[in-house]
Chains A and B, each alone.
Chain A
């Protein structure tokens, strides 16, 4: 008793409603731009890297910030693929897979930079920064590093803002995480600049301390995203794309169920599959008349509530055995053995 919104062809090709397609295309363009620009920043930082810890940390963060755009672009290409015999649920989850990888990379690199810098601080290893010859002039490499950092950080902030707006409209988690990372890039850049200035005035420890701050930021990002991505894989109750609160759709569907008088009791269970939600609605019908028609009509109606709800199965049951959303066990509506139909 599954239902799908009418579209051409056997499957819904697009996850997104028509009116959001231009936004999606814009997001893809922005992510390509981010990818190319970050790549140039990574190359530039690598050329000026030297032996500064803070610089290394900033470089690693830039390197990692290539991952979310790449994940977004790969997932954008994969998510609309048709289901196949091998992947009967389609490819929506490619987004979740990309998300897990990106989050894990953040976490591991954050930990690496943290321990590396802490070790250098404890063993009092002093970063040497010499001169570089540029256009026949000998310049202290520190100045060149600061220039490279500004190049890598400043435009990222504006890209981040633009993407944040799109992420809100598209309800896109990967895009949101990426935008947050770009927007926070100025913190990394400032910390690294302070570290290099510290070396400049002879405070050798400033560099390692700045690197530790940056690593804490990376770790925090990594932890937050790892948690969210594991929750997705565990089919946790859907949250808004910015994870601030539960997605209101579950409440809304339950309200809709309550409005129908042929339904004695009803429950909703939704999971996130990448960008979209799928799940079941269990209903305990009062009577069996026209049950199939009613179920079908209900499924149509529920799918029309919100574009993120992609696939819903409405199942008639005698008793509801999934926990209610406030976590209390449900008082059974009918005093029979819990037997699921159909």
Chain B
């Protein structure tokens, strides 16, 4: 019983003390606030768009810019491959990495992912009002050459895949595409091929920073989806 009282007191003491819960072991949030936030970026349309190593747009770039404004931080962009960036993040040379990461990413163990802040799906888009068989038997579906979607259409449906360089040119015909570009292609959602939960990566254990970022991202989903439809325009 005495031990239980001790534990209860410890919980209350920690909760009531002036300190912030959770705290960063390395003080990332304190350093970034009013200071510099080092953000690793890697090209991933429509999340991060780069030109010559400088971000020109993308949903995540815009979100991070806004987050930095909230913190009063200046951003130092560092571009590189995902692996380079995650390694740097793990060692503490970066504070945040973005680039279309999803909750299924293999970097899961090397970085602290935020809660998914938006979900996207890859679907077979069909012309609105058309009635196609559920298994899409005999239907020709356009898919971007060399993308995951191309293989997924083949594996999950009986459709014939037509690889194309640019989906934008296949306007109006059945195509495997992300849900956020369907409107622009003049299609309605059909068979779902894949679901992606998008996350950003913070440094492992820097929980105050992580929680601050998650609070920023959560509750913005509508806004983010709007942004996505705009940025994702083919």
Number of interface residues of B (CB under 8 A): 29
| CB contact between A190 and one of B3, B19, B23, B218 (< 8 Å): that residue | B3
Please determine whether B205 and A146 come into contact, CB atoms closer than 8 angstroms.
Answer: no
Residues of B within 8 A of A194 (CB): 7, 10
Interface flags for B1-36 (1: CB within 8 Å of A; 0: not) read 001101100110010000101111100000000000
Interchain nearest-CB distance for B102 vs A (Å) = 16
Please determine whether A126 and B204 come into contact, CB atoms closer than 8 angstroms.
Answer: yes
Interface flags for B133-147 (1: CB within 8 Å of A; 0: not) read 000000000000000
Residues of A within 8 A of B86 (CB): none
Residues of A within 8 A of B7 (CB): 189-190, 193-194
Say yes or no for A125: interface residue by CB 8 A criterion: yes
Say yes or no for B211: interface residue by CB 8 A criterion: yes
- Which A193-228 residues sit within 8 Å CB-CB of chain B? 193-194, 197, 199-204
Please determine whether B218 and A131 come into contact, CB atoms closer than 8 angstroms.
Answer: yes
Please determine whether B21 and A130 come into contact, CB atoms closer than 8 angstroms.
Answer: no
How far is A132 from B115 in the complex, measured between Cα atoms in Å? 8
Please determine whether B205 and A130 come into contact, CB atoms closer than 8 angstroms.
Answer: no
- Which A107-159 residues sit within 8 Å CB-CB of chain B? 125-133, 138, 140, 142, 146, 154
Please determine whether A128 and B14 come into contact, CB atoms closer than 8 angstroms.
Answer: no
| CB contact between A201 and one of B21, B202, B206, B215 (< 8 Å): that residue | B21
Please determine whether A130 and B3 come into contact, CB atoms closer than 8 angstroms.
Answer: no
Residues of B within 8 A of A262 (CB): none
Please determine whether B11 and A138 come into contact, CB atoms closer than 8 angstroms.
Answer: no
Say yes or no for A186: interface residue by CB 8 A criterion: yes
Interchain nearest-CB distance for A208 vs B (Å) = 11
How far is A203 from B10 in the complex, measured between Cα atoms in Å? 15
Please determine whether B112 and A128 come into contact, CB atoms closer than 8 angstroms.
Answer: yes
Interchain nearest-CB distance for A48 vs B (Å) = 13
Please determine whether B114 and A130 come into contact, CB atoms closer than 8 angstroms.
Answer: yes
Given A131-B214, A132-B115, A204-B205, A146-B21 contact (CB < 8 Å):
no
Interchain nearest-CB distance for B45 vs A (Å) = 27
| CB contact between A130 and one of B19, B23, B24, B210 (< 8 Å): that residue | B210
In the complex, the chain A residue whose C-beta lies closest to that of B114 is: A130
Please determine whether A197 and B202 come into contact, CB atoms closer than 8 angstroms.
Answer: no
Residues of A within 8 A of B10 (CB): 193-194, 197
Please determine whether B11 and A146 come into contact, CB atoms closer than 8 angstroms.
Answer: yes
How far is A56 from B206 in the complex, measured between Cα atoms in Å? 20
Q: A128-B210, A186-B4, A203-B25 are in contact. List 7 more A-B contacts (CB 8 A).
A: A125-B204, A128-B113, A130-B210, A197-B11, A201-B14, A201-B21, A202-B25
Q: Would you give 16 A-B contacts (Cβ < 8 Å), ordered by A?
A: A126-B206, A128-B206, A130-B210, A131-B211, A131-B218, A138-B219, A140-B22, A154-B4, A186-B3, A189-B7, A190-B4, A199-B22, A200-B14, A200-B22, A202-B208, A204-B205
> 3 closest pairs, A vs B, by CB?
A126-B205, A128-B112, A202-B23
